[in-house]
C-alpha cells in the first residue's frame, strides 16, 4: 500500500508539472467540482460576483479590517484533503474570473488558528493573483492547543496542511486556467512566518518567494516566553504584578531614554541594539508609590527583558523583547491570548489542572522539546536546497514586537546565512522595522507591501536593499520611512521633513 501511495504521489507531481508547461483546455469554474485530485474532495466550486462575498465569520484578530466589497468576480473552490487517516485539512482557493496575472499566493495563519483567514486572501485576489488558505487541519481559536492531542492534527498544523494546500491549489488553478502558475509566493506573519520557513526548509519546490514576518519558529522557548510574561502579569501578589499602567510607564521611559539617539525625536527608536534601558530608573523612591515600580516589579520587568534563560546552564533560549513594546505584554493574559500556558498545559503536561507558577525553565522546556515530534520548531538553518532552485526569502520583524522577540529572527537569519552556502547572501534579506509591534501597529511605520517586494525580487532577480514603509497620521496625512536591509539602519540626512522617506539614507549602525 505504501509503495502504491508513493507511486500515485509521483504521478500526480508529474501531471502538475506537465500542466504548468503544457497549456490545456481550461476547466470552467462549476466543473472543478468533479476534478479528481489524490486524497481530496472538492466540496464547492462556484462563481462569486464582484463585491458579493461574505465571510462565514469575522476575522480572528479583533480590529483587522475585512472589506470584501471591492473584490473582483472570482471562482471560489473549497476542498477537504485527507492524506492520512485522522487528517482533515480544509482549504479554499480563489481564482480571478478575469485578469489572472499567472501567479499564485499562499497565505498564512496566526497562533493555533484553526480557520481559513479569508481577510488575508482578499488583497492578493484583488491584485490579480490566485490565492489559497487553509484551516491547518482543525477548528479552533488562536490560543486553543487542545486539538494537538490528536497526533495527525498536530502534524497537519505543524507542516502538512500548508504543503497539501499548496500542491492542490496549484493543480486546481492549472486546471481552471489551462496552464500552471508562473510563480508561487508565500505571505505570512507570526505562525504564518513559521509556516513560510517550514516550506523553505522542508518543501523547497513549493514556493519561488517567501515573505516570513515575525516568524514563530523557535517554538518551545517562545511558548516559555509567553508563559513567563503571563506569570508576571497575573501574579497573585500585587507587589509583583505589572498592570497596564506599569506597562505604559515602562514604554514611555524606554522611548524617552532611547528615542533621540538617531537624530529624530518621534517616539521611534531606530536602532534598539545601540541603546540600553534599565527599568530601575522607575523604582519608587522612599514614601512614593504612584507612577513608579516597586523593587520587585523592577526585577520582574528585568526578567522579561532578559528573555528565557535556563536556570541551570544560564543559556539564553529566547532573547527578551526589545524595550518600547511593553504595552503589548498584556496580550498573554488569560482573557486575551494565553497561547503559552495552553500549550504547556494541554500538549506538554497534558493536565488541565496544571498551574503556570510551576513552570520549570530547565525541566519543562526539555520535556517539551523531546515531545515536539510534529516539528512545530522550525529552526533548521540550512536553506541551500531552496536557494539552489532560485528561491528568495524575505524575513522581517518589528523591533518592538513583545509577542515574538525580534532578536530571535536576527539570530535565525545569521544562522541561516552561515549554514546555507554562498548563494544565501543573494537569496535572503532581513528587514528590522523600528517601532513596529507584532506584525503591525506600534509607534513606527508599519505598512509594507511584502507581496510586491517579494514578487519584484523573484521576477527581477534584484534583491531589495531598502523598503518604503508608512503609517497614517492624524489629520489624514501619513509618514513614510525606509527600512534598510540588515544590518544597516535608516539615518536622517538633516534636511527636509522627517515624515518623508526620501530624507533618510541607509547607513551602517553606530555603536
| Contact present, 16 and 37 (Cβ < 8 Å) | no
Q: Is 401 a catalytic residue?
A: yes
Cell numbers for 179, please give them. 496552464
* Among 87, 53, 93, 45, residue whose Cα is nearest residue 69: 53
Say whether the peptide bond before residue 487 is cis (omega within 30 degrees of 0).
yes
The verdict on whether 438 is a catalytic residue reads: yes
If one counts every other C-beta atom within 10 angstroms of the C-beta of residue 239, the result is 10
Helix, strand, coil percentages for the chain (3-state, nearest 5): 40, 20, 40
Report which DSSP code applies to 226. Answer: H
- Taking the CA atoms of the chain, what radius of gyration do you get in angstroms? 23
Closest CA to 235 of 299, 281, 282: 299
Using a 10 angstrom Cβ sphere, with 0-12 exposed, 13-18 middle and 19 or more buried, the burial of residue 176 is buried
Does residue 397 carry a catalytic annotation? Answer: no
Contacts 24+ apart (CB under 8 A), 240-247: 240/296, 240/297, 240/300, 241/297, 242/293, 242/297, 242/300, 242/301, 242/329, 244/327, 244/330, 246/293, 246/297, 247/326, 247/327, 247/329, 247/330
Residue in 266, 401, 437, 455 annotated catalytic: 401
* Helix 219-233 and helix 363-371, axial crossing angle in degrees, nearest 10: 140
Q: List phi, psi (to 5°) of 4.
A: -65, -45
| The one catalytic residue among 87, 156, 163, 190 | 190
88 alpha carbon, distance to own chain's centre: 23
CB-based contacts of 46: which residues, under 8 Å, 6+ apart? 29, 30, 75, 76
- Return the C-alpha cell found at 302: 528585568
Q: Strands across the sheet with 74-81, in order?
A: 40-48, 74-81, 89-96, 130-134, 103-107, 183-189, 209-213, 392-398, 428-433
**What Cα–Cα distance (Å) separates residue 425 from each residue in 38, 203, 464?**
38, 20, 12
Q: Which residues are catalytic?
A: 190, 401, 438
Amino acid at each position: 500500500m505504501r509503495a502504491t501511495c508513493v507511486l500515485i504521489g509521483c504521478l500526480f507531481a508529474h501531471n502538475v508539472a506537465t500542466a504548468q508547461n503544457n497549456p490545456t483546455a481550461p476547466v470552467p469554474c462549476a466543473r472543478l467540482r468533479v476534478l479528481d485530485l489524490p486524497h481530496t474532495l472538492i466540496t464547492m466550486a462556484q462563481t462569486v460576483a464582484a463585491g458579493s462575498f461574505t465571510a462565514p465569520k469575522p476575522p480572528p484578530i479583533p480590529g483587522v479590517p475585512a472589506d470584501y466589497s471591492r473584490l473582483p468576480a472570482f471562482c471560489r473552490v473549497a476542498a477537504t484533503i485527507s492524506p492520512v487517516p485522522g487528517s482533515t485539512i480544509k482549504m479554499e482557493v480563489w481564482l480571478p474570473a478575469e485578469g489572472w496575472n499567472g501567479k499564485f499566493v499562499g497565505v498564512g495563519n496566526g497562533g493555533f488558528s484553526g480557520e481559513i483567514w479569508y481577510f488575508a486572501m482578499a488583497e492578493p485576489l484583488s491584485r490579480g493573483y490566485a490565492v489559497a488558505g487553509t484551516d491547518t487541519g482543525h477548528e479552533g481559536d488562536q490560543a486553543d492547543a487542545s486539538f494537538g492531542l490528536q497526533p495527525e492534527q498536530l502534524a497537519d498544523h505543524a507542516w502538512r496542511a500548508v504543503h497539501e494546500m499548496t500542491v492542490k491549489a496549484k493543480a486546481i488553478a492549472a486546471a481552471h486556467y489551462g496552464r500552471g502558475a508562473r510563480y508561487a509566493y508565500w505571505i505570512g506573519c507570526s505562525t504564518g512566518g513559521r509556516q513560510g520557513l517550514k516550506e523553505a526548509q522542508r518543501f523547497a519546490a513549493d514556493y519561488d518567494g517567501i515573505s516570513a514576518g515575525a516568524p514563530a519558529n523557535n517554538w518551545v522557548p517562545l511558548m516559555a516566553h509567553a508563559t513567563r510574561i503571563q506569570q508576571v502579569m497575573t501574579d497573585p501578589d500585587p507587589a509583583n504584578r505589572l498592570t497596564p499602567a506599569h506597562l505604559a510607564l515602562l514604554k514611555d521611559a524606554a522611548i524617552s531614554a532611547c528615542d533621540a539617539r538617531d537624530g529624530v525625536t518621534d517616539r521611534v527608536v531606530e536602532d534598539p541594539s545601540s541603546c540600553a534601558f534599565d527599568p530601575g530608573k522607575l523604582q519608587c523612591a522612599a514614601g512614593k508609590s504612584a507612577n513608579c515600580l516597586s523593587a520587585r516589579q523592577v526585577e520582574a520587568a528585568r526578567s522579561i527583558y532578559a528573555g528565557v534563560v535556563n536556570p541551570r546552564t544560564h543559556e539564553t533560549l529566547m532573547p527578551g523583547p526589545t524595550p518600547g513594546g511593553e504595552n503589548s505584554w498584556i496580550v498573554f493574559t488569560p482573557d486575551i491570548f494565553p497561547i503559552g500556558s495552553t500549550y504547556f498545559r494541554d500538549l506538554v503536561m497534558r493536565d488541565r489542572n496544571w498551574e503556570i507558577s510551576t513552570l520549570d525553565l530547565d525541566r519543562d522546556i526539555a520535556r517539551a522539546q523531546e515531545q515536539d515530534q510534529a516539528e512545530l520548531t522550525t529552526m533548521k538553518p540550512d536553506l541551500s536546497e531552496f536557494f539552489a532552485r532560485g528561491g528568495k526569502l524575505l524575513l522581517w520583524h518589528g523591533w518592538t514586537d513583545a509577542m515574538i522577540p525580534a532578536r530571535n529572527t536576527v539570530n535565525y537569519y545569521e544562522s541561516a546565512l552561515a549554514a546555507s552556502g554562498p548563494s544565501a547572501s543573494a537569496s535572503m534579506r532581513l528587514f528590522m522595522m523600528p517601532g513596529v509591534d507584532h506584525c503591525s501597529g506600534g509607534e513606527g511605520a508599519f505598512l509594507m507591501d511584502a507581496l510586491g517586494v517579494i514578487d519584484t525580487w523573484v521576477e527581477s532577480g534584484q534583491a531589495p536593499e531598502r523598503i518604503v514603509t508608512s503609517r497614517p497620521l492624524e489629520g489624514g496625512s501619513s509618514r513614510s520611512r525606509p527600512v534598510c536591509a540588515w544590518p544597516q539602519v535608516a539615518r536622517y540626512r538633516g534636511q527636509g521633513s522627517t515624515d518623508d522617506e526620501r530624507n533618510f539614507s541607509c547607513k551602517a549602525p553606530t555603536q
